[in-house]
Amino acid sequence: MKEDTIAGIATALSNSGISIIRISGHNSIDIVNRIFKCSKYDNLSKSESNYLNYGFIIDEDNNIIDEVLVSVMRAPKSYTMEDVVEINCHGGILVTKKILDLVVKYGARIAEPGEFTKRAFLNGRIDLSQAESVMDVINADNDYSLKAGIRNLRGDIKNKIIKVRDELIYEIAFIESALDDPEHISLEGLQNRLSEEINGEIHVLDSLIASYDNGKIVKNGINTVIVGKPNAGKSSFLNMLMGHDRAIVTDIAGTTRDALEESVLVEGINLNIVDTAGVRDTDDIIEKMGVDKTLNYIDDADLILYVVDSSVELDENDRKIVSYLDSKKVIVLYNKTDLKAITKEDDIKTIFADSINVSNITIIPLSVKDNKGMEEFAKCIYDMFSLGKISSNNESMITSLRQKNNVEDALSSLKLVIDGINNGMPEDMLTIDMTNAYASLGKVIGEEIDDDLVNEIFSKFCMGK
């Protein structure tokens, strides 16, 4: 498969110290040779592989564009397994773009997003699950996410899954060998051992699935909804959050939501906050937005921030709001502590206990006016979402929905095995579900052919264009 030659900027495009322009394809050496002058070689094709060559990038009028280091990595010993040339130039958006323009002028094509990885994958440099992780790395927009992607490459999840698979295949083989040689191999006592083992495996898979929620948070951020009565201080809290020195504000371009969504970085994790500020200037915000819509937001949310004005009494509206917060992660922001408290923290606890039977609600005293409570809020987020755990190195995380679905399939198969044991099903029936679990887990780690994954990767890589 001879492909055309592609070029792209391999580093983030900013005014940083150094930028790298990567060119891959069978014309890459030839193309760069035409814009690169160095004293050592008259032709770049004479360069040794994997050496840095010092020289200059010149344009068609022989003007020096930049002082650079150029390396040649010849096929197949390169990231894409094609001839790759990398130009290390001095940062600067203008210079970098100018060099890229030159490369394109001499016959390269601007790479599509992920196209270097796509080539690495198509040329067999990386396998499917690695490709999937690389896509995660590419798409990572924060530090935790990047780490998770890299960990997947390193195979932490793989080892856990391999262990479960090994146990399963041993038992499947044992049952089958007993079917074939009942004279010498007895299944007596197997069901007890099996049910113990399978329960252990169920536990492992449960924790892997739980890690997906962390993984999702790492990748996509925490979906957060702010609720509260008018004038409780919701928007001023949000402003404070955005103005906080550790926060960065980015607008997420309009989706179909009527409410504005903003993304704020807290403790290194994105809080994607649905700010209902624009639609709540009424006595009954829930009425205004429509109960359904509010419920939808709350349903999708990983976290609810419930802002309470401590200087006024709790009323029916508060009860109504609380009634919707059943089984959600909630932080009550006990606001306006700079004023005289009419509503006590205990009053809030009571309403949660009475309304939805929650006794350990998290309450953070806050004063937007005095800019107090932010540290506590950040710490609370950190604890509540176990961010400490996420960043620690030995916690494996599942970050792709595909992996999670496969683990979930495996889990339900294992539960069917337990059902089968409890219903006194013959062992050879149990192997059907054990085999399914084995196969589903195999898909997670690429040990089982998963053409869905091939399709997914293809669509991610925009194949066929």
Partner 1 sequence: MKSKIREKVDICVIGAGHAGCEAALASARLGLETVIFTVSVDSIALMPCNPNVGGSSKGHLVREVDALGGEMGKNIDKTFIQSKMLNSSKGPAVHSLRAQADKADYSREMRKVLENQEHLIIKQAEVTELLTVEDIEHLDEFNEVMPYEKTNDNPVIGGVKIFTGAVYECKAVVLCTGTYLKARCLCGEAISYTGPNGLKAANYLSDSLKNLGIELRRFKTGTPARMDGRTIDYSKMQEQFGDEYITPFSFSTDPDSVQIDQISCYLTYTNEETHKIIRDNLDRSPIYAGVIEGTGPRYCPSIEDKVVRFADKDRHQVFIEPEGLHTNEMYIGGMSSSLPEDVQLAMYRTVPGLENCRIVKNAYAIEYDCIDANQLLPSLQFKKIAGLFSGGQFNGSSGYEEAAAQGLIAGINAARYVSNKEAIIIDRSQGYIGVLIDDLVTKESHEPYRMMTSRAEYRLLLRQDNADIRLRRIGYDIGLITDEELNHLNEKEDLIKKEIERFKSTIVGANDRINSFLEKYNTTPLKSGCSLSDLLCRPELNYSCLSEIDDERPSLSHEVCEQVEIEIKYEGYISRQIKQVEQFKKMESKKIPADIDYNDVNSLRKEARQKLIDLRPVNIGQASRISGVSPADISVLLVYMEHKGK
Contacts with partner 1 by CB under 8 A lie at: 1, 76, 81, 121-125, 127-128, 176-177, 179-184, 416, 420, 423-429, 432-433, 435-436, 439, 442, 446-449, 451, 453-454, 458, 463-464
- Closest to partner 1 by CB, 384 or 429: 429
- Closest to partner 1 by CB, 181 or 383: 181
Backbone angles phi, psi at 378, to 5 degrees: -60, -40
Shortest Å distance, C-beta 451 to partner 1: 6
- Closest to partner 1 by CB, 215 or 442: 442
Shortest Å distance, C-beta 400 to partner 1: 16
Shortest Å distance, C-beta 185 to partner 1: 10
- Closest to partner 1 by CB, 296 or 412: 412
Quote the radius of gyration of the chain (alpha carbons, Å).
29
Element (H, E) at 269: strand 269-275
Shortest Å distance, C-beta 173 to partner 1: 8
Tally helices (H) and strands (E) across the chain: 17, 14
Burial of 17 (0-12, 13-18, 19+ CB in 10 A): exposed
- Closest to partner 1 by CB, 182 or 243: 182
Among positive and negative, which fits the CA dihedral 170, 175, 180, 184?
positive
DSSP 223-268: EEEEEE-TTSSHHHHHHHHHHSTT--EEEPPP-S-SSEEEEEEETT
In 3D, which of 215, 217, 228 has the Cα closest to residue 271? 217
- Closest to partner 1 by CB, 81 or 361: 81
Shortest Å distance, C-beta 19 to partner 1: 30
Contact 69, 53 (CB under 8 A): yes
- Closest to partner 1 by CB, 17 or 464: 464
Shortest Å distance, C-beta 403 to partner 1: 16
User: Cα–Cα distances in Å, from 454 out to 128, 324, 402, 460?
Assistant: 7, 41, 12, 10
In 3D, which of 81, 100, 79, 135 has the Cα closest to residue 19? 100
User: How large is the angle between the packed helices 345-356 and 316-323, nearest 10 degrees?
Assistant: 50
